[in-house]
């Protein structure tokens, strides 16, 4: 089915409260993106692409921009919780919506695990990291259960602190680390275009925080104006930060040291300012990952809420806790799954699997935005074509294990929905 050209579906009477402004939405997007990209993906990207990771970063940025404009255009027309799950249902049909929602939930659940593990890796010795990561998940899920304004306030504090640390890292590293500009071009194409494309797929994991803004559409005031502005602004700020840090890390550390580093920004800062910088950078990294995790839990919980409302996930998850107006059951269930993941997987596995799910999600977003007409169109259709093609190419270059696991989990979701539909059809008077 497709929705009316300019109308949006009705929200249940007991819906979420519109308590967020444009600034809040921008901060939630920044908290989601900066924690993921800066501290988690540059080392694996350098290992597959060398200095070509800068080209990969540019490719990922282009694909992310195209996807962001599609999400912004759709969010303005459909300002409810659910993101591309909702958009896919309205523009392309129920199965497209389900696939978007399912890939988002599984991909971003893996992202939650990745951010919790990133926080713990920077904060404590390796042996204790999984347990500290699990504790972080429980603590931040609890914060989210007390309302979205608590989430936004906590994220603001974290984002300000992290940006201050990143500025200091770049300035100190470049000023005292003896940057060598030949590190930026000496190995630019040495790993080939496949390696560059693979690095783009890994780096894309870091850009996907703007999706959290769209999934919060039911809680943003004046969403038709605020959500598109917040998405584009958050992405632009994040890109500037990524480029500055990526260039500084490559110039100072070189390809080999960056690729092998367990904590590249700590190494960047200490190269320029000595060992005294290690502790503040580790604190900044842990805070960045916590900010991303906080926003991720909120976004996945809202998509799970939207899916549960339509029976695509267990309907018990659709209950909104009346006092704080949050989908508490959905967020507690998510926290349980993420705790299991952080105790059983490693960081790089989580990143690859997350990218698989999120890229498929945005493929559907681009297809849905392509169908919009009239006043609901804000951006050229060429952007949706570039975004869709980019998503397919980047998925194809992900590690084979990530693709295989992703395909398997998507198949499980399809099987679940088919079983639910079969049961519903057998009930008297029920039509699917």
Residue 351's pLDDT band (cuts 50, 70, 90):
confident
Nearest Cα to Cα of residue 112 among 291, 325, 362, 303: 291
Residue 386's pLDDT is what? 96
* Per-residue DSSP letter, 11: P
Residue 361 pLDDT greater than 80, yes or no: yes
Mean pLDDT throughout 131-153? 77
Torsion, Cα of 248, 249, 254, 258 (10° steps): -170
Residue 4 pLDDT greater than 70, yes or no: no
The DSSP-derived string for 306-353 is HHHHTTSS-GGGGPPBTTTTB-HHHHHHHHHHHHHHHTT--HHHHHHH
What is the dihedral sign for C-alpha 292, 295, 296, 297?
A: positive
Residue 81's pLDDT is what? 67
Comparing 11-15, 176-180, 184-188, 242-246, the range with the smallest average pLDDT is 11-15
Q: At residue 326, what are phi and psi to the nearest 5 degrees?
A: -130, 155
CB neighbours (10 Å) of residue 125? 9
Cα separation, 64 vs 69, whole angstroms? 9
Q: How far is CA 3 from CA 88, 92, 93, 117, 217, in A?
A: 10, 9, 9, 40, 17
Do residues 265 and 1 make contact, with C-beta atoms less than 8 angstroms apart?
Answer: no
Q: Which two tokens stand for residue 241?
A: 């930060």
Cα separation, 374 vs 426, whole angstroms? 41
Cα separation, 62 vs 176, whole angstroms? 32
Residue 71's pLDDT is what? 87
Nearest Cα to Cα of residue 151 among 293, 35, 304: 293
Cα separation, 318 vs 308, whole angstroms? 5
Residue 150 pLDDT greater than 80, yes or no: no
Mean pLDDT throughout 83-87? 86
Nearest Cα to Cα of residue 107 among 410, 421, 427: 410
Q: Which fold has domain 22-425?
A: Amino acid/polyamine transporter I (1.20.1740)
Residue 149 pLDDT greater than 60, yes or no: no
Domain ranges, ordered by start, for the chain:
22-425
- Percent of the chain clearing pLDDT 70 (strictly above): 88
Residue 63's pLDDT is what? 93
Cα separation, 5 vs 371, whole angstroms? 9
Residue 148's pLDDT is what? 54
More confident residue, 239 or 329: 239
Residue 430 pLDDT greater than 70, yes or no: no
Mean pLDDT, the chain, whole residue set:
83
More confident residue, 76 or 362: 362
Residue 10's pLDDT band (cuts 50, 70, 90):
very low
Do residues 307 and 85 make contact, with C-beta atoms less than 8 angstroms apart?
Answer: yes
Comparing 169-178, 367-376, 418-427, the range with the smallest average pLDDT is 418-427
- Tell me the per-residue pLDDT of 206-226, one tens digit each, with 9 for 90 and over: 777 776 676 666 677 777 778
Residue 15's pLDDT is what? 55
Comparing 188-192, 277-281, 315-319, the range with the smallest average pLDDT is 315-319
Do residues 31 and 337 make contact, with C-beta atoms less than 8 angstroms apart?
Answer: no
Residue 5's pLDDT band (cuts 50, 70, 90):
very low
Residue 11 pLDDT greater than 50, yes or no: no
Q: At residue 20, what are phi and psi to the nearest 5 degrees?
A: -105, 140
* Per-residue DSSP letter, 261: -
Q: Which two tokens stand for residue 359?
A: 């890229």
Cβ contacts of 391 within 8 Å, gap of 6 or more: 63, 67, 359, 360, 362, 363, 366
- Percent of the chain clearing pLDDT 90 (strictly above): 25
What's the pTM? 0.78
């Amino acid at each position: 089915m497709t929705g009316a050209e300019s109308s949006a579906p009705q929200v249940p009477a007991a819906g979420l409260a519109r308590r967020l402004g444009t600034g809040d939405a921008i901060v939630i997007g920044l908290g989601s993106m900066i924690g993921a990209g800066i501290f988690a993906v540059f080392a694996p990207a350098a290992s597959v692409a060398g200095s070509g990771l800068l080209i990969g970063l540019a490719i990922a940025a282009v694909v992310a921009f195209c996807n962001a404009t599609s999400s912004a255009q759709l969010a303005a027309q459909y300002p409810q919780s659910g993101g591309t799950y909702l958009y896919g249902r309205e523009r392309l049909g129920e199965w497209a919506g389900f696939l978007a929602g399912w890939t988002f939930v599984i991909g971003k659940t893996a992202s939650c695990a990745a951010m919790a593990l990133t926080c713990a890796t920077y904060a404590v010795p390796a042996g204790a990291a999984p347990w500290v990561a699990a504790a972080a998940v429980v603590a931040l899920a609890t914060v989210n259960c007390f309302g979205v304004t608590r989430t936004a306030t906590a994220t603001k504090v974290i984002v300000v602190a992290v940006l201050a640390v990143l500025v200091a890292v770049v300035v100190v590293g470049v000023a005292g680390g003896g940057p060598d500009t030949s590190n930026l071009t000496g190995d630019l194409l040495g790993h080939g275009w496949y390696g560059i494309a693979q690095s783009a797929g890994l780096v894309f994991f870091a850009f996907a925080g703007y999706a959290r803004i769209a999934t919060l559409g039911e809680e943003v005031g004046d969403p038709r104006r605020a959500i598109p502005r917040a998405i584009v602004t958050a992405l632009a700020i994040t890109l500037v930060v990524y480029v500055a840090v990526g260039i500084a890390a490559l110039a100072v550390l070189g390809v080999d040291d960056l690729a092998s580093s367990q904590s590249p920004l700590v190494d960047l800062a200490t190269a320029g300012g000595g060992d005294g910088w290690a502790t503040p950078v580790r604190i900044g990294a842990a805070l960045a990952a916590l900010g991303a995790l906080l926003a991720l839990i909120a976004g996945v919980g809202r998509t799970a809420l939207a899916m549960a409302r339509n029976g695509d996930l267990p309907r018990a998850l659709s209950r909104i806790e009346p006092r704080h107006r949050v989908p508490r059951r959905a967020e507690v269930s998510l926290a349980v799954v993420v705790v299991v993941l952080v105790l059983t997987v490693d960081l790089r596995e989580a990143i690859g699997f997350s990218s698989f799910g999120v890229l498929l999600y945005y493929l559907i977003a681009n297809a849905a935005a392509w169908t919009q007409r009239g006043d609901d169109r804000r951006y050229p259709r060429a952007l949706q074509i570039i975004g869709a093609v980019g998503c397919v190419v980047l998925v194809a270059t992900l590690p084979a294990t990530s693709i295989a696991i992703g395909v398997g989990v998507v198949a499980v979701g399809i099987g679940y929905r088919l079983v639910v539909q079969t049961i519903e059809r057998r009930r008297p008077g029920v039509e699917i």
